[in-house]
Structure 1
Amino acid sequence: MKFGNIAVPMKPFRFRKYWEKSRLIECSNTKMNRNEIEKKRRINLQSSVFEMIRLRDLLIQYDMYPFISEGTLLGWYRECSIIPHTQDIDFALMATEFNPKFVNDMREGRTNFKLTRRRGGLDSLELTVTPRHGYKLYTNVFFMYRDKNETGGNEFNWISGLCDDGEKIRFNFPLLEPICSADFHDHLVWVTCDPKKAIIHEYGEKWYEDLKTNNYSRYESANNVERNVGRYSSWELERVTFEDGYEYH
């Protein structure tokens, strides 16, 4: 809205969030040496980007501001795209932004996306969502927590993992804020302002080498995994997990 020559954002909180994340950074566009079979995509690129942006916009409506993470961050930074053999998309959110209405609305059918899987409680949450109609793309939504190192007192971010037997896992990262902007197939997405640092921390110094999805175990292959940080009992596990049509392919 305008007051004379002064324009004031209708939603100042959201405008401030956009402004804070507005610095544009570029991907490295590393040349990958793949044969024709390896170049074949597991998920459709155009449809995946479309659904990814739809979910981004939906999350913003709940004042949650997703940034790409994990394999999606690696694909964007390394190849300026989605890794051909990847099977899903990875978003992350700062846990302080969590809005439970988003989950409730998905469960009640009030959004264009549905909750396919939930793992963990509010202190270790991970969601997987898919479009209610259209192209069936799995998107993991990780909630990023903040903690301090017990020895040095340095702060770090982490997301949770949960094994089928109830073992709690952490994936630790250097602090990912501030967040910047990036071009993702002509769409705006948010990324950590130092993607290479985060990628090396998770994938190691040879992050530029392709590692097939079928040969990659998130709980075993990642450099930043911390095992046995806790355990749910079988009763607790039933209360903090939910699946509805989740078929990881």
Structure 2
Amino acid sequence: MYTRLENPQRRSRMRRIILLFSMPCCFIIPILFYQTSILKTTFSTSTLNESEKCVTIESLQTKDVRILILDEDFLRSIQNGTCEKFRKIEIGIDLKYLKNREILKDPRFEVIFFANETKKDYFDLRTEPRRIIPKRFESHQIGNIYYPKNIPQFLGFLKRSKYIDCLNLYIPRKGQKVFLNAARSAQSLAQLRDKLLDFDMFSFLNGGTLLGWYRECSIIPHTYDMDVSVFIEDINPKILDYFQSAESEFTLARKFGRINDSLELTVYSNTGYAVNTDVFFMYTDDYKNGTIINWVGGMNGNGGKYKFTYPKYDPWCAGDLLGHIFWVTCSPNQQITLEYGKLWYKDHPTTKYQWNESGKNVKPNGNWTKEDMKSVFFWKH
């Protein structure tokens, strides 16, 4: 009897013990599942919020590395005061930081290294394709972050940054007098390039200066002047007043034409190497059949007008002329062949070259009247 009574008692005790230990589990397990659910939800929400954040200059700060903002969309958002969603931002970093592996691993950045050579006036971006942009621009600084003050102009630098190389051909010359010092001429031309940029005007090499750059990576030594062009829609009329002012670093030697027709200026530096540079303003004829022709004008002392025509011009590549960045056509072989013929790679003495006859792309374009000449012809003597 004793044994039969003891077993039921033991079983009852066991039930109570099991119940005692199982009851907390009924509460703990749901709580654990609930907490896990909360953690998952919190992580997902955090990720979502991160993607919705706006990129700011402050959010890009780093230590010990000077950063130049190159990201075009981010620069536009700064300019317009809009939100650029959180993503990798394209930045430029000097090659001297090449061994800094931390910046390469930083998920905030798409890093582009650039060379900053003392003897060159441009940054050489190590991209594919290669790109170069001017060093000369004013910038804002916040911490170690730099970005341009004139964002539209800087975006213009990036738009025109694709590098194109010159041929560096050997050109035999015997008995020809050297008229221009190449290095000093290029420096003077860079001075003019910068002054035009001060008026938000982008210039590009044209005529004999384009030929000299592409053919021999230099200035043609027996030429008498240099040539650049500016699209007429990019003109800032204030530049005309500046060139004639007492504050100007340049002297206006000649002014032909009008803003709406065949405008051409000739200037030379007052502070540097005094070489005449012709600034031709380029116009566009857009025909109904879809043909687009670009042209620059010229005129003689009797009011005769001339027109130098080109197919649709594509000047927005960048080249190096003796250490200076200049913008050039992206198809130099085509443009030079059209102007100088298939034998452009051979030297043609300047003394035998007639500006209004020798070019393959020049033709007469009417005449200015005597009354017109009073306003379209200026020559400083």
Query: How high is the TM-score relative to the length of structure 2?
Result: 0.61
Give the corresponding residue for 1:104.
Answer: 241
Shift of 1:133: 3.3
Query: Aligned pair count?
Result: 241
Alpha-carbon distance in 2 for matches of 1:103, 1:237: 18
Give the residue type in structure 2 aligned to 1:234. Answer: K
* RMSD (CA atoms): 1.7
Unpaired runs of 5+ residues, structure 1, are none
Shift of 1:149: 4.8
Runs of 4+ in 1 over 6 A off after TM superposition: none
Shift of 1:218: 1.2
Q: 1:4 aligns with which of 43, 46, 59?
A: 59
Alpha-carbon distance in 2 for matches of 1:178, 1:233: 33
Shift of 1:234: 1.1
Higher relative contact order (CA 8 A, sep 6+): 1
Q: 1:136 aligns with which of 267, 274, 277?
A: 274
Per-residue deviation, residues 114-153 of structure 1 (Å, max 9, x unmatched):
2111001112100000112342210000001111357x54
SS at 1:136 equivalent: coil
SS at 1:105 equivalent: helix
Q: CA separation of 1:186/1:165 partners in 2, compared to 1, >3 Å: closer, same or farther?
A: same
Specify which structure has the higher proportion of helix: 2
Give the corresponding residue for 2:210.
Answer: 73
Shift of 1:235: 1.6
Shift of 1:3: 4.0
SS at 1:72 equivalent: helix
Alpha-carbon distance in 1 for matches of 2:231, 2:58: 34
Give the corresponding residue for 1:26.
Answer: 165
Shift of 1:11: 1.3
Give the corresponding residue for 1:197.
Answer: 334
Q: 1:237 aligns with which of 348, 353, 373?
A: 373
Alpha-carbon distance in 2 for matches of 1:53, 1:65: 12
Query: How high is the TM-score relative to the length of structure 1?
Result: 0.92
User: 1:172 and 2:309 equivalent?
Assistant: yes
Give the residue type in structure 1 aligned to 2:249. Answer: N
Give the residue type in structure 2 aligned to 1:200. Answer: T
User: 1:41 and 2:178 equivalent?
Assistant: yes
SS at 1:83 equivalent: coil
Shift of 1:4: 2.9
Per-residue deviation, residues 6-63 of structure 1 (Å, max 9, x unmatched):
844321110111011000000112221222x33x420122221111111111100000
Alpha-carbon distance in 2 for matches of 1:149, 1:214: 37
Give the corresponding residue for 2:219.
Answer: 82
Does structure 1 retain, via aligned residues, the 8 Å contact 2:243–2:251? yes
Alpha-carbon distance in 2 for matches of 1:21, 1:97: 15
